[in-house]
Amino acid sequence: MTATKDFYSAANQHFTELNDSEKRIFDYILKNFDQIKFYSIRELALRCYVSSTTIFRFAKKLGFNGYSDFIESLTVVPEAPQTIPHSIKQKDFKDEYLKNIVESVRVTDQTKIEQFNQLLDLNPVLYLMGEDLDLQALHYVHWLFTAQGFRAVLLQDQAAVQNALRHITDQDIFFAFAYTGDNSSIVEAIERVRQNSRATIVSFTRAVTNVIQNLCDIDFYVFSDEIGLDHLDLTSRISMLAIVELIFYHRFNRTLDE
């Protein structure tokens, strides 16, 4: 690696070559940029739930000679950008925007889609929970479910959450939009659902190992370039909505085939 090559320039050159696991590693690095430079290869591997060999291959795929070369690249940039993702720096953000949607849909597990639709066949009550921008996106999801005749409850405040926890049953679905995957109120709600019932927990999170993903029965993960403005999260939720629509399209096809 040349002295002028930094992590972001390397990532921009090779990002499309990364597999799903490596993209999760990449996303973890973006979120913990300032800490990563002090991690050993073993520590980073443990935090990303992969092997040290996977981390080494990740570094090589980005064009570095090894792990130490990769760590050195992180020091070229004084600090991680807080709101501007790597692809914004490219000439055409449109291509990256579309690529995130396509990749999110492409990696969606068909088995999970079928599993979710089988749960819908049981006519459950769907309790929809999210915060901030996730909650705004859930208004559309709520409309989709109710338009198809499902019983959906949008949990817009703590009182609604408390009421849901009292009434949720084993055949119901707790449906969470939680892009970051670490929303404390949603984690707490999931844990209480587990205590009160055997309801299925379904989540939509970003493509990086996170707390909520690990607590759920079914997790759909997405790729998106994270964007903020004046401390407001403006990261696109289009990929999350696209997967929900994909679930419904699959359901429509099942009906036509019967």
Ordered mean pLDDT values, 10 residues apiece, the chain (258 residues): 58 76 81 83 89 89 87 65 45 75 89 94 96 96 95 95 94 96 90 93 89 90 82 89 94 70
- pLDDT at position 202 is 97
Tokens found for residue 137: 């996106």
Tokens found for residue 150: 């499902």
Tokens found for residue 121: 């066949």
- pLDDT at position 163 is 93
Whole-model pTM?
Answer: 0.66
Instruction: Report CA-CA distances (Å) from 169 to 117, 139, 143, 161.
Output: 18, 23, 22, 14
In the CATH hierarchy, which fold is given to the domain comprising 105-257?
A: Rossmann fold (3.40.50)
Cβ-count burial of 177 within 10 angstroms (0-12 exposed, 13-18 middle, 19+ buried)?
Answer: buried
Question: Where in the chain are the domains?
Answer: 7-80, 105-257
Do domains 7-80 and 105-257 share one topology? The answer is no
In the CATH hierarchy, which fold is given to the domain comprising 7-80?
A: Arc Repressor Mutant, subunit A (1.10.10)
> How far, in whole angstroms, is CA 85 from its chain's centroid?
15
What CA dihedral angle connects 151, 111, 107 and 182, to 10 degrees? 50
- pLDDT at position 80 is 42
Give the amino acid at 124.
P
- pLDDT at position 19 is 84
- pLDDT at position 82 is 42
